Structure 1
Amino acid sequence: MIASLKKESNGYTARFERMLNHSREEVWAMLTDNNQLKKWFPELQAEELKNGGKFKFDMGDGSYEEMKIIGFEEHAILEYTWGKDIVRFELNEIKGGTELNLIEKISEITDHTPRDLAGWHVCLDVICRLLEGKSLDSRSEEWETWYDEYKIATETIQTK
C-alpha cells in the first residue's frame, strides 16, 4: 500500500506506516546506527545524534549535503531537513512490536517527488526485510513499480 498523501495549507504531507514485530530499540538502530544505515541507505550517515545534530548525504560526486536534525527523542522521534522538505520518523511501541511512521513534509510537488516517495517506500520495505533477516532481490525493479504508483498519486493530489 502506498503512503497516504494529503494537501496542506503550506504544501503536502506523505505518511508511510509500517508495523514491525521488533522492539523500538532495534528499529531505532536501523535509523541511527551507521552500520545499520549503510545496509538500507548507504548514502546516508548519522553525525551528532541530537537536536541540532546532523546527517550527511553522499551526493556520489565527492560532495555531501548536510541535513540538520530538528527533532530528536531517543527511540521515539527522529526529524531532519531533506532539502526544502522535512522527514520525520516516529516509533511507537505496540504490543509485540513497533509502529514505524515516516512523515515527509513536502513544500511543493516536483518531478522528483514521486522518485523520492518511491525511494522511501522501498527503503522502509528493506528495513522490514533486514529486521526479519531477509534481503531484497532487486531494489530497482521494486522502485520502478512504486514510482509509477507515486507518479499517479502526486498528479492526482495536485488536481484536488
Structure 2
Amino acid sequence: MKHGTLTTKGNKVELRFERRLNHPPEKVWRALTDNKELAHWFPARIEGNRQAGAELRFFFAEGDPTTGKISVFDPPRVLEYTWEGDLLRWELRPEGTGCLLVFTNIPGDRANVARDATGWHICLDNLEASIDGNPAAGFDKERFSTLNAEYAARFGLGAFPAFMTGPANRVAATSLNIPGVEAYAFDGADGTQLTLFHAKSDATTGEQWRDSDEYLVVLEGSYVVTINGMDIHLGAGREFVIPMGARTSGRFTAGTRTIHAYKGKRLERASA
C-alpha cells in the first residue's frame, strides 16, 4: 500500500506513508541524510549540520531559501525536522534483510493536504528507485495531476478553497465575536446570507434568538447546537434547520467547518 493516509487531529492533519524497502536501515539512512543521495529524490537542496538542534536551510532552483530545524537525529532509526510550518518525521524499522520506512508529515497549512500527499508520494517513489539503483522518474506533470485528483477524492477538501476566503468576504472579528473561529460571508440579492465557519480551536457561540429559519450543514468535525436548552450533536455530513424563534447557541470542536444560511441581521466584513 503505497498511498498515504490522512488522520485528523483537531485542527491539524497528519499524513502517513509506509514503504517496505529491500535494503537495511543504514543504506536508507544515507538516502535520507546525505546530500548526494538526497539530490535523487528530495524536492530541495538542504544545507546544515546533521545533528539534533541544527538549523537547516532549503534551496530550490528559484526563490529565496526556506528554513527548518532538526529536532531528532538518531541514526539509523529516527530523523525529524521542521521545514517552515511543516513537521517531517522519518522512521526506519528493521524487517529481515530490509526495513520499513514510516514517513509522517504534519503540514502547517491543511488546505493543500492533497497536493502535499501527491508530492511526497512521488518523492518516495523516487527514493525507492534511487536506492534500488534505478533512475528516478522525476517530475511528470500529467502523473502529478492524476495522482493529485486521486488524493483529493480520498481525503476530501480539508479546508475552504482560497477563492472563497478572500479579504472581501472575511467577517470582522468584532462582528463575529467567536474567539478561535474564522468566518466568510456571501450575500444574496433577497437578503439571505451564506456564511462559512472554520474553527481553529474549540469555540462556543453566544446565545441568541433566531429571527428567521437557519440552514446548517457540518462539512467536517463536530458541532453541537443547543436549542431552548437541548443539545443536538451534529457530525460531518449532517444537515439541520434551526427554526425561527428558537433560543440557540453552538459549540465547535477544533477543526470543524460548517455552512450556515439565513435571513436577518448580517455579519459585517473585516474590510468594510
Structure 2-normalised TM-score?
0.54
Residue 28 of structure 2 corresponds to 27
Q: Map Cα deviations across residues 14-39 of structure 1 (whole Å, 9 max, x no partner).
A: 11000000011110011100000011
- State yes or no: 1:98 paired with 2:92: no
Cα distance between partner residues in 2 of 1:147 and 1:8: 22
Shift of 1:136: 3.7
- The alignment partner of 2:123 has SS state of helix
Instruction: Specify whether residues 42 and 85 from structure 1 end up closer, same or farther in structure 2 by C-alpha distance, changes over 3 A only.
Output: closer
Q: Are 2:131 and 1:131 aligned?
A: yes
| Greater relative contact order structure (CA < 8 Å, 6+ sep) | 1
**Cα distance, 1:138–1:85 mapped onto 2, change above 3 Å:** closer
One-letter code of the match for 2:64? S
> Which consecutive unaligned segments of at least 5 residues does structure 1 have?
none
Runs of 4+ in 1 over 4 A off after TM superposition: none
Whether the aligned pair in 2 keeps the contact of 1:68 and 1:80 (CA below 8 Å) is: yes
**Aligned-partner Cα distance in 2 for 1:151–1:42:** 21
User: Which residue number in structure 1 is paired with residue 17 of structure 2?
Assistant: 16
**1:80-91 superposed matches below 5 A:** 80-91=81-92
Residues 29 and 46 of structure 1: is their aligned pair in 2 closer, same or farther, counting only changes over 3 Å? farther
Name the residue aligned to 2:44.
43
Residue 144 (structure 2) aligns with: 143
Distance across 1 between alignment mates of 2:69 and 2:138: 31
**Count of residues paired in the alignment:** 159
Which residue does 2:8 correspond to in 1? 7
CA–CA distance in 2 between the matches of 1:122 and 1:81?
20
Distance (Å, rounded) in 1 between the aligned partners of 2:24 and 2:101? 11
- Secondary structure at the residue paired with 1:78? strand
5+ long unaligned stretches in structure 2: 160-219, 221-235, 237-272
Q: TM-score, normalised by structure 1?
A: 0.88
Comparing both structures, which one devotes a greater share of its residues to helix? 1
Alpha-carbon offset, residue 131 of structure 1: 1.3
Q: Which one has the largest radius of gyration?
A: 2
Residues 1:138 and 1:145: Cα distance change in structure 2 (over 3 Å): farther
- RMSD between aligned alpha carbons? 2.0
